[in-house]
Chains A and B, each alone.
Chain A
Amino acid sequence: MPEPLAKKVLLIGWDAADWKVINPLLDQGLMPTLDDFINHGVMGNIATLRPILSPMLWNSIATGKRAHKHGIHGFMEPDPQNGGIRPVSSTSRKVKAIWNILTQRGFKTHVLGWFAGHPAEPINGISVSDLFPYATAALDQPWPLPPGAVYPENLRDTFTQLRMHPAEVTEAAILPWIPRAAEIDQEKDKGLTSFAKILAENCSIHNAATWILQNEPWDFLAVYYNGIDHFCHGFMHFHPPRMDGIPEDKFEIYRDVVNGAYRFHDMMLQTLLDLAGPDATVLLVSDHGFHSDHLRPRGIPAEPAGPAVQHRPFGIVCIKGPNIQQDERIYGATLLDVTPTILTLFGLPVGSDMDGRVLVQAFEEPPQISRIPSWEQELGECGMHPSDLRMDPAAAQAVLQQFVALGYIQPPSEDQTKAVASAVREANYNLARDYLDCGRPDEALPLFEDLAKNDPKQSRFQMHLAQCYLALNRRDAAKQILESLITADLNPPAEPASQAEVGAEAQPAVAAEVKAEEVASPDAIKDDATPTETKPPAPRPWADLLMGIIHFEEGNMDEALASLLKAEQSDPRLPNLHLRIGETYLRQKRTDDAGRAFQQALEIDGDSPEAHLGLAMVNLRKRENEAAAEQALLAVGLQHFLPLGHFYLGVALARMGHRQRATLAFETCLSMLPGLVAAHRWLAALHSQPGGDLDKAVRHRSLYAQLMQQRKTRAQV
């Protein structure tokens, strides 16, 4: 068993925290605690997973597993007690979270406010559910904690007292953020109400965290703050520079809220660090970023996925503590890496069924990593709810349907029925997208087929089904869907459909994300100050983009380019469009055009690993090896699991004469993509040089020959 590398671990979750907002604040000295944190630890981007939906993401952070394994597939689930819906619950999680594993190994473990944390789990410590901070009544009315919000039950009264009600947010608390608050007409503008609600909820969570750190022994504490995400959903459109369409008076009133949110979190961080003490290892992570610049969307698509268009695919990760490097950057982290890293900090084995890896780069010395097949099979009390209380929400719904059919209970109301159907549909959609995102289109297919069949007007389902067919090399099926979408878009129905149908018909595909966190906090971000819900872009540009991809894969570069340029005409900011255009130009040997396309992709998203990858290829073509190496490093820095990035880096380094570094890059590439023929050929060549490893040269030459033979055989077949 490896030695523990941490005495105790504090895991802090800042939903939606993003370096793009933080860096200017650090430069101005406005986040001094975080500045000191990263000077004494490591920092980096953390890549999110798709769909970018917080309950799924935070449970991936806590389990090291993707959503199809952990079972949390959305915000809401059917409620077997009332026939309606409820926030997704801890009884729906199918696998152990880090606090369960640590409970099983006897560590004093606490968790606060985590998504899908209700009812609180009976762990070896204190568990406070995500329903804890919400005020359910006016301040002068009773607002008891919901049953099951705190474990152990004898601390219920203590934690009840730790909550802050929005009505307790005073002028003194508001004015530093919104100095011109007095100018707000609160009859029309509910911005202050939203503000107070978010602030109070996060203060409640913070009070609970500091109480535990002050009063309880602890080995591990995980605390989740939703403040940055909620403040950003509510006020990012007032963040400087002023967006088109935002009235100047409102801009001036609310312009400092987002920065204020980050500075407030910095202050809370200082308290947590002081209480945790210098010997604690602290991880600060977010689940995704949040567009804060020219990429801010002008409207929110009117669909369950709407507000997530504001999310950026990279969040933050910072770690500091004993045995952790100081003032260093780490690269290629994903949400899935957090739990394996914490297990290694405690000297515990990583489950081989976990999808993440240990962030070894963060450690001063490479840590010893042990593995077991799975923590799920390890026996012992782990503080999960008993398995006989955990039920698949869909099964729970079926049981209710049985009672209705027997006439034992009243059928749910029309609203409830719709809400349940929507929750089940969105959960299936999210699950399918998770399968698609992790390269399992065969698992996604039946789900997308059902969704598209049951709800043919929702073009997002059709588009994902087309994508799924494409991933399965069923190009004809994909084409059929896309052609009908394009035709429908070119020939809209003569009579306008109802408003709801228009919204449904117009829903985009790949950009569609699930409605943000307001579900648990219904009016947290909904007010007349938020961007208006807009009709999402028509599906046609997406269809043209996918048609372009199909033509590309069929080798018809002219047709591919025509489709892609058509998509560009309709929506020049379509995600990945310029990457595809660049790749097509590369295939046509139009290197300069390709370079321009990848630069355009970077103008839209400066953190796109694929755009840097494309530029690395362009530079290699032009024999600009130093620039190629730089672009490839940027690409793998943003996304470590990018085998072609390591390959291009290897080629550039080899050409520059850095044989050892090139060898390492090719070996990294092959560890991710063992069948990449060209990497074997390069390694054979490098090892054949004087001072090389001749055995390895022979082995790679042999593997190269085998792979080429296989390729030839496949081609003949």
Chain B
Amino acid sequence: MMQMLAAGGLPVLTDGERQADADNPRGYYEWERIKLLPQQPDSIAEAEGKVVKAVTQLLFALPPGRDYRIIFMQRPLPEVVASQAEMIRRRGTSGAALPPAALISGLTVHLNQVNNWLRDRTDISILRVDHHDVLRGPVAIAESIQKFLQRSLDIAAMAEQVDASLYRQRVSP
């Protein structure tokens, strides 16, 4: 998604610290300082007019007083957990001490809490984008993003960024 947004012509806030790897051979568009948002909520000012990538946990730290547009990427949680497990294995770190089913259940509640919290934030608009839909119809998704952001984007360039080969953690039908 970050590559789509960049190709569409949106400025991306990134520090380039995290290099491409086997999990994401086309590189990461990350901004390390977003992780400090809970301690330094005012740092979000640097993202004004730009795109920044954040995990749901960090949304709780978004300070009021600004107009936020969130493109909320959604994917079946079993796929998310499988993908995370693979990333954690490659990173050599240790994740949640929970079996996958319990972790899925925990993430479900976490997302419910996030969504519940988002409902009360009138300063945040949300576009929910299904990961599978991006792979199936990137043009339609790019158009919906253009409409949501109310900005003219390079739809064709955005669609070209979608690489279905990166979709590895499928849930068996």
Contact = CB atoms under 8 A, between A and B. Distances in A.
Contact of A403 (B57, B102, B109, B113): B57
B93 interface: yes
Contacts of A399: 96, 103, 106-107, 110
Contacts of A20: none
B136 interface: no
Interface in B72-126: 84, 87-88, 91, 93-98, 102-103, 105-110, 112-113, 116, 120
A395 interface: yes
A402 B103 contact: yes
A280 interface: no
Interface stretch (A62-70, A317-325, A404-412, A597-605): A404-412
B38 A388 contact: no
A476 B124 CA distance: 63
Contact of B97 (A396, A401, A404): A401
Contact of A398 (B58, B87, B106, B113): B106
A94 to B, nearest CB: 13
A82 B87 CA distance: 23
A71 to B, nearest CB: 14
Contact of B96 (A147, A386, A401): A401
B36 interface: yes
Interface of chain B, helix or strand or loop or mixed? helix
B55 interface: yes
Interface string A379-422: 00000001011110001101111111111111000000000000
A177 B109 CA distance: 48
B106 A405 contact: no
Contacts of B120: 147
B35 A395 contact: no
B148 interface: no
A409 B103 CA distance: 17
B86 to A, nearest CB: 11
Given A389-B113, A409-B58, A402 B35 contact: no
Task: Tell me which of B93, B103, B106 has the highest count of chain A C-beta atoms within 10 A of its own C-beta.
Answer: B106
A669 B161 CA distance: 79
A410 B36 contact: yes
A402 B91 contact: no
B102 to A, nearest CB: 6
Contacts of B88: 402, 405-406
A486 B84 CA distance: 49
Contact of B110 (A396, A404, A406): A396
B109 A405 contact: no
A419 to B, nearest CB: 15
Contacts of A389: 109, 112-113, 116
A537 interface: no
A399 B106 CA distance: 6
A411 to B, nearest CB: 9
Interface string B11-36: 00000001000000000000000011
B142 to A, nearest CB: 25
Nearest to A395: B106
Interface in B32-60: 35-36, 38-39, 55, 57-58, 60
Contact of B106 (A83, A396, A407): A396
Interface residues of B, number: 32
A153 to B, nearest CB: 9
Given A389-B116, A398-B96, A401-B95, A409 B55 contact: yes
B113 to A, nearest CB: 6
A352 to B, nearest CB: 28
A410 B61 CA distance: 13
A402 to B, nearest CB: 4
Nearest to A81: B60
B55 A408 contact: yes
Nearest to A411: B35
A692 interface: no
A260 interface: no
A80 interface: yes
Contacts of B109: 388-391, 395-396
B112 A388 contact: yes
A554 B58 CA distance: 59
Given A388-B108, A389-B116, A402 B60 contact: no
A395 B55 contact: no
Contacts of A396: 106, 109-110
Contacts of B94: 401, 405
A409 B53 CA distance: 12
A389 B113 CA distance: 6
A82 B38 contact: yes
A409 to B, nearest CB: 5
Nearest to B55: A408
Contact of B102 (A395, A408, A410): A395
B60 A82 contact: yes
Contacts of A398: 96-98, 102-103, 106
Nearest to B39: A410
Contact of B84 (A80, A81, A147, A402): A402
A211 B95 CA distance: 49
20 contacts: A80-B57, A81-B60, A83-B38, A389-B112, A389-B116, A396-B109, A398-B102, A398-B106, A399-B107, A400-B57, A401-B95, A402-B95, A405-B88, A406-B55, A406-B87, A406-B88, A406-B93, A408-B35, A409-B35, A410-B35
Interface of A: 80-83, 147, 386, 388-391, 395-396, 398-410
Given A391-B110, A405-B94, 10 more contacts: A81-B60, A147-B120, A390-B109, A395-B105, A396-B109, A399-B106, A405-B93, A408-B58, A409-B55, A410-B35
Q: Sorted from nearest, which 3 A-B pairs have the closest CB atoms? A: A398-B96, A408-B55, A391-B109
